[in-house]
Amino acid sequence: MNNKSENPAYCGLSQAQLDSHWMPFTGNRQFKQDPRLIVSAEGKYYTDALGRKIFDGLSGLWTCGAGHSRPEITEAIAKQAKELDYSPAFQFGHPKSFELSHRITELMPEGLNRVFFTGSGSESVETALKIARGYWRKKGLPSKTRFIGRSKGYHGVNFGGISVGGIGANRAIYGQGIEAAHLPHTMLPENKFCKGMPTEGAYLAEEIEEMVALYDASNIAAVIVEPLAGSAGVIPPPVGYLKRLRELCTKHNILLIFDEVITAYGRMGSNTGAEEFGAVPDIMTTAKQLTNGVVPMGAVIAKQEIYDTFMEQGGPDYMLELPHGYTYSAHPVACAAALATLDILEKEQLPQRVKGMSPQFQEMLHSLKGTQHITDIRNYGFAGALSIDARDGQPAIRPYEIAMKMWEKGFYVRYGGDTIQLGLPFTTDLSEIDSLVNALGDTLKEVD
């Protein structure tokens, strides 16, 4: 078809319209030559511009575990928008934010009970880093400013997040970040094809001692890690690793931040990765599944002692204790979406469902071992990934081709770096996992 706007795949969009949107984390030139437009979603399926049903193998972007277009959420949003569409985030409040913050604390490990709202995962990370630095200053230890992240870590895209993040491609062109060092990642060769948590690698947490020897704890504000690294391709923590990190941070008076933007609210089979892996951070960042992806929102949860420090050192009562916040912090519509989402997760026992079905997902995913191009398989809860060998020294090309072929077959999976990533909707049933894994197996055999 010569005229693109007459091609149904383009939804009537002209090339000028397509070109006007600078899309995020997307090969814009390729996309605009061959757009993949999604026009609606329901449950675990998208409908594309050609009317095809596509299984949502990544729950949006790890966001929509409860499934799309849930009436409980859409109705709560509509009701909220009619009743109170916006209320100033600074110096005034609305009841739902307090209801929600309290609700979130009930899902947290004990002690994490003060909630700061943001508009995204990246904002949650920046907020956590600022709270950490501010906390030490309020404690009279202003030299504690350096952060320790981890190689292969992903903490969003803002300057703090890419500085502590450990994905080179996300940092390479942006110049100077903030002071950060990086722990080694935990993807050891001996853990390849390990099911769930690998047994080797807890010793890698000892690297904190090296960092303390090098920088001195008096200069280190916090360690930030994802309990399970998501965006680098689902890297579950080695047994004992997070507990050791916790011990060493406590020993050296360094705050521990868990970035749970992917792992909080069910995906691990528990309310949080902290609960699942048995280590409690001082600050936790969350977003994504909090509103089932329907309205942008994040939440940072801090230990009470951190909050109290800001309050005690806050000066006169009318003064701001933390000069930080977003126009959309605790947006009423986002709060309504989050409350409805948490209701669904609880009523339908979705974290428990994930936990119950994850052994079957694990077995089915690992049945792909031995298929050509696969160099590793990793999983935990309803998160899984395949590592794919490079073609002609280019690690990203095969995953891209695999994801595109999967899309043609009616499955959305994510490709990132040398990996294919899966984040199943929490309501996925066995036959859907089976179809997804079979389609992946067939596709791997078809790709050069």
Ligand X SMILES: Cc1ncc(COP(=O)(O)O)c(C=O)c1O
- The residue ranges that bind ligand X (CB under 6 A) are 120-122, 125, 154-156, 226, 230-231, 259, 261-262, 287
Residue number, 120 or 387, with CB nearest to ligand X:
120
User: Which of 218, 204, 202, 80 is CA-nearest to residue 141?
Assistant: 218
Distance in angstroms (rounded) separating the CA atoms of residues 303 and 314 = 17
> What's the min distance (Å) between Cβ of 429 and ligand X?
26
Helix or strand holding residue 54 (H, E): strand 53-56
Residue number, 125 or 256, with CB nearest to ligand X:
125
Amino acid occupying residue 316? P
> What's the min distance (Å) between Cβ of 178 and ligand X?
16
> What's the min distance (Å) between Cβ of 318 and ligand X?
33
Side by side, the strands of the sheet bearing 383-388 are 374-380, 383-388, 419-423, 414-416
Residue number, 259 or 418, with CB nearest to ligand X:
259
Please answer whether residues 373 and 389 qualify as being in contact, where contact means their C-beta atoms are separated by less than 8 angstroms: yes
Residue number, 4 or 185, with CB nearest to ligand X:
185
> What's the min distance (Å) between Cβ of 141 and ligand X?
26
Please answer whether residues 61 and 292 qualify as being in contact, where contact means their C-beta atoms are separated by less than 8 angstroms: no
User: Which of 397, 378, 376 is CA-nearest to residue 387?
Assistant: 376
User: Which of 138, 148, 59, 176 is CA-nearest to residue 319?
Assistant: 138
Helix or strand holding residue 401 (H, E): helix 397-409
> What's the min distance (Å) between Cβ of 161 and ligand X?
6
The end-to-end CA distance of the chain, in Å, is 29
CA dihedral 76, 123, 265, 347 (to 10 degrees): -10
Q: Which two tokens stand for residue 103?
A: 């609700």
> What's the min distance (Å) between Cβ of 393 and ligand X?
27
> What's the min distance (Å) between Cβ of 122 and ligand X?
3
DSSP string over 257-315: EEE-TTTTTTTTSSS-HHHHHT---SEEEE-GGGGTTSS--EEEEEEHHHHHHHHHTS-
> What's the min distance (Å) between Cβ of 281 and ligand X?
13
Residue 22 CB burial class (10 angstroms; 0-12, 13-18, ≥19): exposed
> What's the min distance (Å) between Cβ of 175 and ligand X?
20
Residue number, 63 or 191, with CB nearest to ligand X:
63
Residue number, 125 or 222, with CB nearest to ligand X:
125
Residue number, 94 or 150, with CB nearest to ligand X:
150
Helix or strand holding residue 222 (H, E): strand 220-225
Distance in angstroms (rounded) separating the CA atoms of residues 198 and 82 = 49
Residue number, 421 or 428, with CB nearest to ligand X:
421
Residue number, 5 or 170, with CB nearest to ligand X:
170
